[in-house]
Amino acid sequence: MNPRIKCLRNQLNSLNIEGMIVSNPINIKYLTNIDAEGELLITRRENIFLTDGRYVEAVNSALTIDSEIIVWDKRGMIREDYENYFLFCEKVGFEESYVTYEKYKQIMQLYKINELVETEGIIEKQRRIKDEEEITNIKKACEITDQCFTFLKNYIKIGMTEREIAYRIEEFFIKNGAEGLAFNPIVASGTNSSMPHSIVSDKKIEEGDILLIDLGCKYKGYCSDMTRTIFVGKVDDTIKNIYDMVLGVQEQAISQMKDGANIKNITKVAEQELKINRFDLIHALGHGVGLDIHEAPVLTSKYDNLLKENMVIAIEPGVYVPKSFGIRIEDTVLITKNGCINLTNSEKNYTIIA
Amino acid sequence: MNPRIKCLRNQLNSLNIEGMIVSNPINIKYLTNIDAEGELLITRRENIFLTDGRYVEAVNSALTIDSEIIVWDKRGMIREDYENYFLFCEKVGFEESYVTYEKYKQIMQLYKINELVETEGIIEKQRRIKDEEEITNIKKACEITDQCFTFLKNYIKIGMTEREIAYRIEEFFIKNGAEGLAFNPIVASGTNSSMPHSIVSDKKIEEGDILLIDLGCKYKGYCSDMTRTIFVGKVDDTIKNIYDMVLGVQEQAISQMKDGANIKNITKVAEQELKINRFDLIHALGHGVGLDIHEAPVLTSKYDNLLKENMVIAIEPGVYVPKSFGIRIEDTVLITKNGCINLTNSEKNYTIIA
């Protein structure tokens, strides 16, 4: 029996929801390992993947009997087929944070469901806690990311462009066993580093630049996420002090992360430390990492929320001085009963390249 | 005055819609040239881009006074600010095919809008007709794509993998002035070509393979789209005949494309020609190309729909024999008053590589 679908069914039961339409392809991949366009219907007795002619062959060949998924080709279906899926169901769940308003109206018409109810990220919440296989994949993605950073430290030279470096990151990932990028890497040099989501440009790396590199790859669908801020040629003392402060904030946060720790408190400590130094935390302190590069939980001081064993979290404090520079340090960590384990392990002392 | 926003405002006026919330980032880029997370509010008097701290600096530095866009940082906003934007507006439009059901409910609550109405792709429809600047960018993307194909004809050798070739395509694009890929290229060899959406694999190119390559790049945000099916070492006569038939269907379609021509009729002619040869057209005959690789209009025989001057269309008939092979030929063309102009111009005679 597929344990992930079983867990979802138990949760739906406890909410008196008798079925669910899963539309988010990442959630479908999580529950079924299917990588194709379509919808997963969790009906009273069956798990049905509705797809079209282009994918039926590929999907069927990827499934085993243990998957307990029935594949239906939409092309052969008539109106009654849709109406029969959730016959006698009172409440059926849908994914309100994925389904567009237009699609919501179509679902209502097509399936003739009595009560279509919001499920408030029920699958995303389940995905926060990783199983053994997921952790293995994320570890592997993090290893390749560390190797890439080691490569970059030797590879990057004054005069190269940000774009060239970003390109080599992708090449390295693919050549070293990853499926590809988890996201477009940020390679932000000089004043470009002052923008947290800087877009890679043709700016050349210059003597004296700060160089912020945010990178991650995918391994069997699972992401890694790491940022290092390094220095070209020399480090100014003021910058060194700020770097140390950011690193201190990150290490302080990491030291508090464990099963049962409150995310709100951890974030508040980080915010206060930055505040004392007259900086604001202008983005979240961190986020879950898994099949998506950004997934639940988000680390903010807005809500009470506990860390749990086997969550995987990217922890990324940063400071940004407009038009001047930015420093961010980020690691992916695994939450355990008594602490957390760094899955990315690249050097965090001042790295100076030339 | 920003002509694209002016045109949108005129359309909204004629529908008695007094404002609009634009959420789709591609539509925001089209209207404002802003490339950041946020929402564009078209209010009675102003154009407001709501964003957050991460983007304010970058957005402001990209705008000029002529842009007529006011940037607001969400962090400084209170409830009344949201409620004031559409005060005294009866109907305000939203993008029902982009906005999730969850977001729709948030918008209702936050902005306190009397009547939030569906806009049925009003901006996507506007985007179908390209202006001079857009056409220049697409032409440039198509040129780079042609250059890439010329490169590939010499570069591809027996024994290389599909993945290696796909990778070189991206590298070529970036080295030759494109921003990057418009989509993940399809490099499908041998039986892999039988799947219209084949995923690049580690299969090696072999003597006797058909090799289907579907590629496109982005230049200043604008896409190109081209497919060529080439032959490794030799061409079987049966295959040659099918190739000629597909090419004939494509050239026949291109010869009919001009301002005022009915998409339904053009598609029907193509479908009938394939039918005579006992093939079905299992995907659309073509689609618009612009900031998105697939945009309006879609070329099917389902609806009456006219081509208009300055639409840019990818026209891509194909046949697919399951588990055996596929042939597709695709060009990006610009619709003119009296015909159309091929923007991709790579060789369509049998290309044989060794």
For position B57, what pLDDT does the model report? 79
- pLDDT score of B240 more than 90: yes
pLDDT attached to residue B75: 84
Find chain B residues with C-beta within 8 A of A120's C-beta.
none
Least Cα separation, residue A196 to chain B (angstroms): 6
Secondary structure of residue A230 in the 3-state scheme: strand
A199 touches chain B (CB under 8 A): yes
Q: What is the share, in percent, of chain A residues with pLDDT greater than 70?
A: 100
According to DSSP H, which parts of A35-100 are helical? 53-62, 79-85
CB atoms within 10 A of CB A253: 25
A221 interfaces chain B, CB cutoff of 8 Å: no
Cis peptide before A317 (omega within 30 of 0): no
Q: Do A53 and B282 touch (CB under 8 A)?
A: yes
Q: CB of A17 within 8 A of CB of A119?
A: yes
Residues of B in contact with A57 (CB under 8 A): 195, 322
* Tokens describing residue A236: 């100014």
ipTM for the complex shown: 0.84
Tell me the pLDDT tens digit for each residue of B198-222. Answer: 888 889 999 999 999 999 999 999 9
**pLDDT interval class at A43 (50, 70, 90):** very high
- Measured in angstroms, the CA of A246 and the nearest CA of chain B are apart by 18
Task: Judge whether B196 is closer than 8 Å to chain A, CB to CB.
Answer: yes
The one-character DSSP state at B158 is: T
Average pLDDT of B20-47? Answer: 95
Kindly list the domain boundaries of chain B, sorted by start residue: 3-127, 132-353
Of B54, B98, B103, the CB nearest to A197: B54
A265-282 average pLDDT score: 96
Nearest alpha carbon to residue A287 among A331, A249, A345: A331
A98 vs B contacts (CB less than 8 Å): 100
Burial B209-221 (b: 16+ CB within 10 A, else e): bbbbbbbbbbbeb
| Minimal Cβ distance to B167: which of A54, A99, A174 | A174
pLDDT digits (tens, 9 = 90+) for A140-181: 999 999 999 999 999 999 999 998 999 899 999 999 999 999
Angle between helices B25-32 and B3-14 (to 10 degrees): 120
pLDDT for B105-142, tens place per residue?
999 999 999 899 999 999 999 999 999 999 999 999 99
For an interface test with A, which of B29, B102, B320 has the most A Cβ atoms less than 10 Å from its Cβ?
B102
Tokens at B27, concatenated? 């539509």
Closest residue to A98, CB basis, from B100, B118, B167: B100
Whether chain A has a CB inside 8 Å of the CB on B88: the answer is no
- Residue A246 clears pLDDT 90, i.e. is over it: yes
Minimal Cα distance from B53: which residue of A?
Answer: A282
Q: How far is B102 from chain A (nearest CA, A)?
A: 5
- Interface A-B, measured as beta-carbon pairs within 8 A, has a size of 68
CA atoms of A75 and B226, how far apart (whole Å): 28
Interface contact flag, B174 A194, Cβ < 8 Å: no
Domain A3-127: homologous superfamily in CATH: Creatinase/prolidase N-terminal domain (3.40.350.10)
The CATH number of domain B132-353, selected from 1.20.1070.10, 3.40.50.11600, 3.90.230.10, 3.40.50.2300: 3.90.230.10
pLDDT value, residue A76: 84
